[in-house]
Structure 1
Amino acid sequence: MDITENYRIDANFRHFRNAVKDNDELYLVECGIERCKPDKSFGPMTRSEYHVHIILDGKGVVKMGGKSYSLRRGQIFTLIPGIEHYYYADEENPWHYAWVTFAGTRAAYFMEKAGITAKSPIRDACVEPEQFLAIIEKILSFHQLTVVNELGRTSQLYEAMALLVDSWNRKTDSPQKKASYDYSSDVYVNSAVEYIQRRYSLIRVNDIASYLGISRYYLAHIFKEKLHVSPQEYLLNYRLARSAMLLRTTGLSIQEISEKAGYENPLTFSKIFKNAYGLSPKNYRAKILMESGAD
C-alpha cells in the first residue's frame, strides 16, 4: 500500500483528501473510489459537507432522515450536511462506488439544481455511472499539491456538478422540467441585451433564445415584462439606432450601413429606416449634415 499525507491507494480503495480550500463558492474536500467488503458500514454520523456517492456495481443500504433506502448500480445517494446517516454494503453483493465530498457557498444551490435536497437525497444517475467515475478518476490523478493540479481539481469538480445537473435535466419526469429557468428574468434580459449589442447584424430572435438556453416564448415574455417591447422590436430598434449613428458620424455608404444592420438589400433597409425616422437614410444624412453646417 502507498500512503502519503493526502493520497491513498490500494487494490480496492483510492482516496484523496484536499489540503487546500481553493474556492469559497465550491471546493473539494475529498473524493475516492471503493470496492467495499461485505457489510462494511459507516456511521451513524453527521457531516458538514455534501458527500455524493455514485453506485457503480453491487448493492447496499442507506439510512437517513428516518428513512431506509435499498440501492443498486446506477443510483446516487448524497449525505446531506447536518443530517445523521448510516450506510452499509450488501452482505452477498457489496457495492462498488465512487464519491466526491465538497462544500462552498453555492454547494446547496448546485445540489438543488441537480435534484438533490434533504427531502430527496436519492436519485438515479440518469446516465451511465462510468461518466461520473471518469471525473472522479481525473480528480484523483491531480492528487499532487501543485497550483496546476489545484486548478485541475477545481475544474473537474465543476465538471461533476455540471454532469449532475445536466443528467437530472434529462430525466423526463424531473421536477426541474416543470420549474422556472435557472436564473432570474433580469439575468436573461441583461444577457440578451448584451448579446444583441455584440451580434445585432447577424442574429435573429431564435438565435437569442438558443444562446440563453430558454424558449422563444419565455424570451418574449420577459422582454415585455422588463423592457415593454418584444425581442424583435428591441433588435430592430437597436439596428436602426446603430444605423442612424453611422449615418451621422461616418462616411460609410448606405449599402455598407445596410449590411452592418443585417440587411443584404439596401432598399429593404431604406424602407424600414424611413418607417422609423420619417426619412430615407440618404435624406436623414443630408438633414444631419445641413443642420451641423448651420451650426
Structure 2
Amino acid sequence: MDDPVQCYRISSNFRMLGRLPIEDVELYLTVCGTERCTPDKSYGPIVRRDYHVHFVLSGRGTLEMDGRVYQPHRGQIFVTVPGVDLFYYSDPQDPWHYAWVSFNGSKASLYLEKAGITADHPVRDCYLEPEEFLGIIEEILNHHEITVANELTRTALLYQILAMLVNSHNQNLERQNKPLPHDYSPDVYVDNALGYIHNHYAHAKVSDIASYIGITRSYLTHIFKQRMEISPQEYLLSYRLEQGSRLLRTTGMSIQEIAEAIGYENPLTFSKMFKNAYGVSPKHYRLKVLEKKEG
C-alpha cells in the first residue's frame, strides 16, 4: 500500500485535500473535497480503506455497494464503507455535484451508526441543507497547510460534521415520535448523575439532573435504583443531610446557616429531616460531637 501523500488540487470542477498521514486514534481525517461530476463520471470498482461521506448538493447517480444498488440524489447523504466492493457513477443527464469527507478511526463506525448510517443503510436524507456541510468542508480545504494548528482545526471541523449528522438524525427521530437511543451505558449516566449531585446538591432537582445529562427523569430513576438501590431523590436528600452533619461537626455555622447552605430555606424543615435520618436534632447532634471531643 502506498504511503499517504499530501496534495491539494483545485479546478473549476474539482477541489480536494489529499490523503493525510494516518494516526492510530479514535477519529482522523484522510481526504475531503468537492466535485461537479461530468456525465457518467464513475469510481471503481474499488475497495476503500476509509469511510467516505458524500453530501449531494445537486444531481443524482447510482451507488453499487456489497451487491446492493442505491440512487442518491440532491438532499441526501451516501456513505461508502471500508473493505467492501463498491462502484458509483453520476447520472448522464443530471450528474452529481457533491462535497465529501473521508475519515477513519476506532470510533468512526460508531459515530456513523449514531447518525443513522451503516453498511446496510448507506443512504439517508440529509435533514439539513447540504450547503451547510459544504461550508465546513470548504473551511477544511482552506486549512490545508501541514501545521499543528491546522491539524487541530481540521479535526475539530470533522467532529462538527459528525455532530451535525447525529443531531439531525435524532431530530428526525423526534419528529417521528420515535424514542432516542441512549448513547452510553447506564453506569456512565449514573456516574454523571452522582457527580452532578455532589457538586450541586444544595439546589439540584432530579429533573435538573436528568436534563443536564440528557436523559428522561424516568430512565434516570430506573437505572439509578438498579445500581444504587435507592432513587435519585432519596440519594439527593441523604447527601444533603450528610453534608449538613459534616458542617455541624466541623464548623461553627448556625443551624440556619447550615440549612441554607445545603438547600433548606426553612431551618425547621432541615431539623425535622435531620432528626428523621439521625435520630436526634441538629443541635443535639452537635452537642454529642462536642462531648466526644471533650471526653
Q: TM-score under structure 2 normalisation?
A: 0.94
2:99 alignment counterpart = 98
Q: 8 Å contact 1:22–1:150 — kept in the other structure?
A: no
Whole-Å Cα distance in 2 between the matches of residues 254 and 13 of structure 1?
A: 73
2:71 alignment counterpart = 70
1:19 alignment counterpart = 20
Whole-Å Cα distance in 2 between the matches of residues 43 and 176 of structure 1?
A: 40
Q: 8 Å contact 1:168–1:174 — kept in the other structure?
A: no
1:239 alignment counterpart = 240
Whole-Å Cα distance in 1 between the matches of residues 121 and 249 of structure 2?
A: 60
Whole-Å Cα distance in 2 between the matches of residues 261 and 227 of structure 1?
A: 22
Task: Label 1:20 to 1:264 Cα distance change in 2 as closer, same or farther (>3 A).
Answer: farther
TM-superposed deviation, 1:20: 3.3
User: Percentage identity across aligned positions?
Assistant: 55
TM-superposed deviation, 1:211: 0.9
Whole-Å Cα distance in 1 between the matches of residues 113 and 175 of structure 2?
A: 12
Q: What SS does the corresponding residue of 2:116 show, helix, strand or coil?
A: coil
1:183 alignment counterpart = 184
**1:28 has 2:43 as partner:** no
Q: TM-score under structure 1 normalisation?
A: 0.94
Task: Label 1:19 to 1:71 Cα distance change in 2 as closer, same or farther (>3 A).
Answer: closer
2:292 alignment counterpart = 291
Q: How does 1:186-205 map to 2 (within 5 A)?
A: 186-205=187-206
* Equivalent residue pairs, number: 291
Q: 8 Å contact 2:6–2:20 — kept in the other structure?
A: no
Whole-Å Cα distance in 2 between the matches of residues 183 and 177 of structure 1?
A: 18
1:158 alignment counterpart = 159
Whole-Å Cα distance in 2 between the matches of residues 154 and 31 of structure 1?
A: 12
CA RMSD of aligned residues (A): 1.8
Whole-Å Cα distance in 1 between the matches of residues 24 and 175 of structure 2?
A: 30
Unaligned runs of 5+ in 1: none
Q: 8 Å contact 2:53–2:101 — kept in the other structure?
A: yes
TM-superposed deviation, 1:164: 1.2
Q: 8 Å contact 1:41–1:86 — kept in the other structure?
A: yes
TM-superposed deviation, 1:6: 1.9
TM-superposed deviation, 1:18: 4.5
Whole-Å Cα distance in 2 between the matches of residues 87 and 180 of structure 1?
A: 32
TM-superposed deviation, 1:246: 0.9
Whole-Å Cα distance in 2 between the matches of residues 282 and 93 of structure 1?
A: 82
Task: Label 1:56 to 1:217 Cα distance change in 2 as closer, same or farther (>3 A).
Answer: same
Which region of structure 1 is more displaced relative to structure 2, 75-84 or 272-281?
A: 272-281
